[in-house]
Structure 1
Amino acid sequence: MCGIAGYYGFGEDEALLREMNSCIVHRGPDGEGYYTHGQVGLAHRRLSIIDVAHGQEPMFSQDGQTVLVYNGEVYNYLDLRDELVALGRTFRTVSDTEVVLQAYEEWGDAAFDRFNGMFGFAIHDRRNNRLVLARDHFGIKPLYYANAGTAEDPKLLFGSEIKPLLAAGKLDTSPNERILFRYLQFRIHDEEAQTFFSGVYKLMPGEKLVVDTSPGATSGFTVSPYTRFKEELAELAKIETPYSPAVIDEYRRRFTEGVRLRLQSEVPVGTALSGGLDSSAVVVTINKLMQENAAATDSLGATQQTFSAIFPNSINDEEKYADAVLATCTGNVTSHKILPKAEEFAVDLEDFVRTMEEPIISSGPYAQYRVMQEASKHVTVLLDGQGADEMMAGYIPYYFAYLRQLKKNGQRAKLAKELASSADILYRLGRFRLRGMVTAKKPLAISSLLKKDFTAAHKSERFANIADNLKLRLIDDLFHKSLPAVLRYEDKNTMRFSIEGRVPFLDKEVVKFLFSLDDESIIKGGWNKRILRDATRDLLPEMISNRRNKIGFTTPEAEWFILMKEKIYEIFLSSSFGARPYWDQNAVLYAFEEYLTGKSSASTMVFWRLLNTELWLREFFDEPEVKAGIADKSDYAPNADKQLDITVPAAGKGLNGKESDGGTYRRYPLRTEVFYKDTDFDPAVMGYVDRFFTGLPQAGDEHTAVTSGTPWYLFVSEKIVAMTQGRSIPVWDIKVTPAARTLSRFVTRNPGGIGLASPWSMQLAIDEVGLPRLLYAAGRSVIGKLQGKSGVFYEVVGHNINAIDGAAGYQVGTSTHSVKYAPLDPDGVAARLSALVRERVPAGFATTFAGTAIMDANDLGVVALGHDTALSKTVLEAIFKDNPQGQTTETTPMSLVFKR
């Protein structure tokens, strides 16, 4: 298993290849190789599995005219090698790579259809002036490409992942909004060649891409099938071989051989075990091969190592099923159990999104991600049960397709029998739907969350399944609707941790045989996967053979989303989420709130698609956010786009009754750690004051300004005061009333702050002063505006309401998802801090210290909520009228201010 990258049309540029290849080290940590010739460049990362000592790539033919980089395994390579030897060919290695290379030399593109395995490769055929890319019959291994040139004069980039194409720096890509809409609206992806990246495509299963590399050629490139495999399956489906014991025996033989072939390896092999029928069948088949000392089982070692994700006490837990399988393999198995947790998922979320490269329909594949992470410590190859569902009707909708097929064909007796036999399945499905109707929970359609302009631009998009033909539906899902997405998860998760994933159900010959059988081999008497159940019945515990409820490698998403609500709110409340042209942020927040409180029957997959898209956009398209750290700004430097000095006029009288002089003031904003509810406020503030004086320069303008003997002050943001007083309330703890939701819509939201423009902050205002007073203030405000007056609303309700801050994504810490009241007793807090300052600072500064002010400042206005200085509030507010502090990502919520 490996990773490949390359190009056509960029000359001999090994530096470009190295840049592309550096993105996929995880796919091949055992080696790398490069090749350039004319306009072709090939790069390779190797994960050594077969012929570890040899098989390095790029691999050259014996005459040097054919060059191959290859990702995958061809499991019938030994049979093909014997056939090629019989034709007079000789081999230098025992690798399947050389078999692929010589098969192409012998049979050309026709060789690809002979391969039974998984592959994505590139061949530079210098003799025939061709560059050929090809992907396996099922699309188990990925192969992406993009054209940075024109149709007539292509400049192609290609690779096993999308990251190398982006890293080349040759593409000007953007989100593919059509694919994004289909994903959000229909919950579909990977069904076609287009990806979520505009201009980036993937070869579909069984396709090849060919470029004419003749000098001066401008014929472009072609993409076409190299096989009729999909059509062959449809033709075989018409044969309908009757179900019989002989058919079961033949299926068992073919499936067992498919498993045996996938044990070929020179490095340790293990198995993924979910507890479902498919993975359990693989485990017990391997166990039987071990008992028989069959060829290739030496790759397993002394015991078969299995890897299972478990979720104790969760509805998704399958541990008892996995344990039943393990019990049948006692003595031949070593079990590894992984317990993915919500808090781990929250930590891994960004890496998981990066690993997947494109959005996915649920968080379920994270369970597989964690399994592969653990498995990589023990094995290099892992067999998995993917693909069985799509070929043997593993999902409930297949029952309906089969029932509709029977009805369409007039098979009424069989239809009645199947309806009766499927009663428990149909009842379970109906029960969940009926429960939503009985409880009167609101349904949630994602279309209600999407922006109308976005929806209107893609209103012509449609999605439909084959409704009444079981095998044609299965074929469609194998190559378009379902399996391609599953295989993407499989490839990305395994290769993220340098593991080769093998899927024995997707053996080309096994699938052909299955599709030649009667439909009753797949569904009969309400049982799906009938032939697999019968073929493994003597190997599996009865509770597995007769199991009808399917879970698979997934996560308890509904439970996790409640535990992760802080992380989810942080994303949904973020400025970037609110700025996207795809969804209505307020509608999403309201819907999520309704979901958490049990008022809607929304599926977590709706919210997951929004989360996944947002994180994907941040990862692949947004400029990296530069987050300020505590050491990034000197205590003696201003914040970006701010000034240290400000001149204010004299105005009003201070607390001592004397006229307060204006003048020039220097404001030094102090960068701090983020303040939280449990921050020990007084020592924390004093620590930053100490730091300022300890690091004070001994010469220069700062030294002169600070040591001039003039009065100086401590200005503190009311935000951190309120936060540490427990006056910050998480949005999920605020019970929003209809009045708050309605009133908040009439408040203008602006870049300077949320204020009362959110239903949560409006609710706190209602709780603080009462709804009648708010309504009265609103009326007075309207009259005031007609009279040319501003600020009337807050004059009526009080500045404590003005100080209420809404949750906002541009803030830091818990402020991203919490609403904050005004602080309690700001005058008292100011006096307390002033006393501490006088005790802590050097004596000379203690005598000139003139007090503390608690300020509510943002880009729209400033209010001095409390102070113990001799300055009037008017002067205090004038000193801060340009808001020199930063309470968001700047994290400078306090300042030392010196009169100049």
Structure 2
Amino acid sequence: MCGFVGFAAAKLEQAEARATIKAMGDLIAHRGPDGEGFYVDERVALGHRRLSIIDLEGGTQPMFNEDGSLVVVFNGEIYNFQALRAELEAAGHTFSTRSDTEVLLHGYEQWGEDMPAKLRGMFAFMLWDKKNETLFGARDIFGIKPYYYYNQGGHFLFGSEIKSFLPHPGFVKELNEERLPEYLSIEYIPGEETMFRGVYKLPGAHWLRWKDGKLKTHRYFDIRFQADESLTDEEWQKKITEVFSESVAAHQIADVEVGCFLSSGVDSSFVVNEVAKGTPHVKSFSVGYEEEKYSELPYAQAFSKEIGVPSIANKVNADEFFEANQTIQWYLDEPMPNPSEVPLYFLTKNAAKYVKVVLSGEGADELFGGYPMYCAAWHFAGYSKTPAPLRKAAAALAKRLPAFKGKNFVMRGAMEPWQRFMRANYVFSTPAERDQYLKKDYHSKKPEEWFKPYFDQVKGLDEPTQLQWVDIHTWMLYDILLKADRMSMANSLELRVPFLDREVLKVATALPARLRSGKEQTKIALRRAAMAQLPESVAKRKKLGFPVPLNDWLRQDKYYNMVREKFEGEVCAKFFVPEACIRLLDSHKNGTAKPGAMTQIWSIYSFILWYEQFFVLR
């Protein structure tokens, strides 16, 4: 696990370029404290920060091919690199290291732009082809590893984190203010834009090519759900067990010790149990709170004791939680108000004292149907068979009637799936509710309209599967995986996700929808596979996520006043209506606020902290 930076232009002054690329690399030193490397020529500058995991002695970067005509910087792990290496050696290529990085160089020589589609792993890389004066890069199919670029004013910048662009003299740091409403509603921008104007995310499963100042991006892999009804439920259970076991084994490839994260849920428990089969004394890491009612530690520690795995835990208190927030917003690059990022930050900080690599359970919910809203979608799926005119007429009538049981269902049942997608208004229930806190009218489209293009691509699927596909391409990519990467890399820890594997994906996307979720159950087939190996109490446990006692803390004077101080400050007045923000905070404190007020307060507060980090303090 590492980080890379780079830039290109029609002509570079090399001494200046060397100083710039070094400064850019220094800003992501946390991604790779074990070493640094740089390459500069008349067109391109590449920088790399290394966290040594595989081939500790020989895997330094930037790395070159035999004649020096290709140079690459790379972040991630290629889990099938040994098989690819054997194939390339059979084709006549000669390797000089044991590193997976070298497969990218020879793979590009052999397969060109078809190379990324052959890779199994988590990766982001940029390769400079000197002979053809072409930059070529790609991101893994899920988007596990980050990739940003900026192509303005004759300067092409790229790297693992946006903050690395700050030292470049051609980078114009400017807030993408028009996207503030989307951030407030959704927690992130559900597309390629970022909160920095002109900075874009390369989506998962895409490659990019830069040549003569022209940039092209291309999707090289599609995730498609296509149910296979030919297998029995028992055969699917066996298939899941086998492919997951193989994926966990592949994700343990390393020349350093590998540990595991362990929460109270089935996903991480399944991972730890699988690793423990071959590594009985694997270290597991858990985090909780001093407030026991919010802590998952008792469940995690009981499970680790039952399977004989060492448990290393730490607790977070309110002071630590609030003190860490500004630092966390700096590491995130873009504002993110998901409170679970804070315990994750402390979890990775503690784990990094013991190991360099951990396995985690991200991705299981999206691939195998783990969110409650998928259950709700099954109810709508049945109602959607009623002719649309009848559903719309019923909704119009229900709207005029007083409250009754099922009114909300009837009204939402007349909508299309993209219109009732709950993540679109994740923080505020409507744009009107959100806009009362904004100083300006941005004339933004409704949050759900951002998701319509995603739903349009999977119209033929049942509604629960549509939600899964959209989650994989939005929520998982722009929230879950970003949070996991930034919080682990902030503490120089490599986080691997064995559920997000190409072979596991093949099984998940072929699994019949009824075995992913139902009206009352989530992750049906995955839980059955887990139940065969885990205690029943773990396999059946409902999803908790990372529960946070923030609701309670914001009612305490000390933390209430910390937030209020920001709401009374200059940044809040620049973008928000301070009086409205303070009323929201006060109503939460005195218990009169509507449900969800804490999330709304935290979204505004997190943006202020982030803006201060990038536009006031630096």
Distance apart, 1:209 and its partner CA: 1.4
| 1:33-76 Cα shifts (integer Å, max 9, x gaps) | 11112211110111000000101110000111111000000111
Q: Secondary structure at the match of 2:377?
A: helix
8 A contact 2:194–2:200 mirrored in 1: yes
Residue aligning to 2:324: 348
Residue aligning to 2:97: 93
- Select 1:265's aligned residue among 254, 274, 280: 254
Alignment of 1:552-571 (within 5 A): 552-563=545-556, 564-571=559-566
Amino acid across the alignment from 1:328: E
Distance apart, 1:591 and its partner CA: 1.5
Residue aligning to 1:323: 301
> For 1:445 and 1:229, how far apart are their aligned partners in 2?
32
Q: Secondary structure at the match of 1:20?
A: helix
Residue aligning to 1:480: 474
Distance apart, 1:525 and its partner CA: 6.5
* Aligned length, in residue pairs: 566
Distance 1:248 1:101, change over 3 A: same
Flag structure 2 segments of 5+ consecutive residues without an equivalent.
387-404, 410-427
Distance 1:561 1:318, change over 3 A: same
Distance 1:567 1:118, change over 3 A: same
Alignment of 1:768-787 (within 5 A): none
> Are positions 1:131 and 2:140 aligned together?
no
Residue aligning to 2:582: 589
Alignment of 1:757-776 (within 5 A): none
> Are positions 1:113 and 2:117 aligned together?
yes
> Are positions 1:496 and 2:470 aligned together?
no
Distance 1:554 1:208, change over 3 A: farther
> For 1:255 and 1:273, how far apart are their aligned partners in 2?
17
Alignment of 1:285-684 (within 5 A): 285-290=274-279, 303-330=281-308, 333-408=309-384, 447-448=432-433, 450=435, 456-463=441-448, 466=455, 469-524=463-518, 526-548=520-542, 550-563=543-556, 564-578=559-573, 580=574, 582-603=575-596, 604-622=598-616
Distance apart, 1:449 and its partner CA: 6.1
Amino acid across the alignment from 2:132: N
Residue aligning to 2:159: 159
> For 1:203 and 1:459, how far apart are their aligned partners in 2?
23
8 A contact 1:255–1:510 mirrored in 2: yes
Distance apart, 1:452 and its partner CA: 8.1
Residue aligning to 2:204: 205
Q: Secondary structure at the match of 2:474?
A: helix
> For 1:163 and 1:503, how far apart are their aligned partners in 2?
25
Distance 1:388 1:349, change over 3 A: same
> For 2:29 and 2:547, how far apart are their aligned partners in 1?
27
8 A contact 2:25–2:47 mirrored in 1: yes
| 1:199-241 Cα shifts (integer Å, max 9, x gaps) | 11110001111111xxxx35x111221x2322xx14xx24444
Amino acid across the alignment from 1:462: P
Distance 1:453 1:536, change over 3 A: closer
8 A contact 1:449–1:588 mirrored in 2: no
> For 2:594 and 2:190, how far apart are their aligned partners in 1?
28
Distance apart, 1:113 and its partner CA: 0.6
**Root-mean-square deviation over aligned CA pairs:** 2.4
TM-score (normalizing by structure 1): 0.60
Amino acid across the alignment from 1:382: V
Amino acid across the alignment from 2:569: S
Residue aligning to 1:760: none
Residue aligning to 2:396: none
Distance 1:6 1:348, change over 3 A: same
Alignment of 1:77-88 (within 5 A): 77-88=81-92
Structure (1 or 2) with the larger CA radius of gyration: 1
8 A contact 1:387–1:483 mirrored in 2: no
Amino acid across the alignment from 1:269: V
> For 1:368 and 1:556, how far apart are their aligned partners in 2?
14
Distance 1:84 1:14, change over 3 A: same
Q: Secondary structure at the match of 1:229?
A: coil
> For 2:480 and 2:474, how far apart are their aligned partners in 1?
11
8 A contact 1:187–1:361 mirrored in 2: no
Residue aligning to 2:424: none
Residue aligning to 1:254: 243
Distance apart, 1:602 and its partner CA: 4.2
> For 1:328 and 1:83, how far apart are their aligned partners in 2?
43
Distance 1:180 1:241, change over 3 A: farther
8 A contact 2:378–2:518 mirrored in 1: no
8 A contact 1:364–1:557 mirrored in 2: no
| 1:270-295 Cα shifts (integer Å, max 9, x gaps) | 1111111111110111112336xxxx
Amino acid across the alignment from 2:337: I
> For 1:255 and 1:490, how far apart are their aligned partners in 2?
20
Amino acid across the alignment from 2:215: F
Distance apart, 1:5 and its partner CA: 0.2
8 A contact 2:330–2:610 mirrored in 1: yes
> For 1:104 and 1:155, how far apart are their aligned partners in 2?
25
> For 1:175 and 1:382, how far apart are their aligned partners in 2?
35
> For 2:49 and 2:602, how far apart are their aligned partners in 1?
33
| 1:777-801 Cα shifts (integer Å, max 9, x gaps) | xxxxxxxxxxxxxxxxxxxxxxxxx
| 1:545-573 Cα shifts (integer Å, max 9, x gaps) | 1112x212342221232242121122112
Amino acid across the alignment from 1:158: F
> For 1:266 and 1:480, how far apart are their aligned partners in 2?
33
Residue aligning to 1:843: none
Distance 1:341 1:623, change over 3 A: closer
| 1:677-729 Cα shifts (integer Å, max 9, x gaps) | xxxxxxxxxxxxxxxxxxxxxxxxxxxxxxxxxxxxxxxxxxxxxxxxxxxxx
> For 1:228 and 1:454, how far apart are their aligned partners in 2?
42
Distance 1:40 1:526, change over 3 A: same
Distance 1:542 1:455, change over 3 A: farther
> For 1:523 and 1:282, how far apart are their aligned partners in 2?
21
> For 1:400 and 1:455, how far apart are their aligned partners in 2?
35
> For 1:448 and 1:309, how far apart are their aligned partners in 2?
34
TM-score (normalizing by structure 2): 0.87
Residue aligning to 2:268: 279
> For 1:350 and 1:584, how far apart are their aligned partners in 2?
22
- Select 1:61's aligned residue among 62, 65, 68: 65
> For 2:276 and 2:238, how far apart are their aligned partners in 1?
18
Percent of pairs identical after alignment?
A: 32
> For 1:325 and 1:241, how far apart are their aligned partners in 2?
35
> For 1:174 and 1:602, how far apart are their aligned partners in 2?
34
8 A contact 2:181–2:444 mirrored in 1: no
Distance 1:454 1:575, change over 3 A: closer
> For 2:335 and 2:301, how far apart are their aligned partners in 1?
33
Amino acid across the alignment from 2:566: I
Distance apart, 1:124 and its partner CA: 0.4
8 A contact 1:372–1:493 mirrored in 2: yes
> For 2:595 and 2:586, how far apart are their aligned partners in 1?
11
Flag structure 1 segments of 5+ consecutive residues without an equivalent.
292-302, 411-425, 431-442, 625-900
Alignment of 1:709-748 (within 5 A): none
8 A contact 1:367–1:554 mirrored in 2: no
Amino acid across the alignment from 2:567: F
> For 1:494 and 1:453, how far apart are their aligned partners in 2?
33
> For 2:229 and 2:610, how far apart are their aligned partners in 1?
45
Q: Secondary structure at the match of 1:193?
A: coil
Amino acid across the alignment from 1:566: N
Distance 1:352 1:334, change over 3 A: same
> Are positions 1:179 and 2:179 aligned together?
yes
Distance apart, 1:83 and its partner CA: 1.3
Q: Secondary structure at the match of 2:263?
A: coil
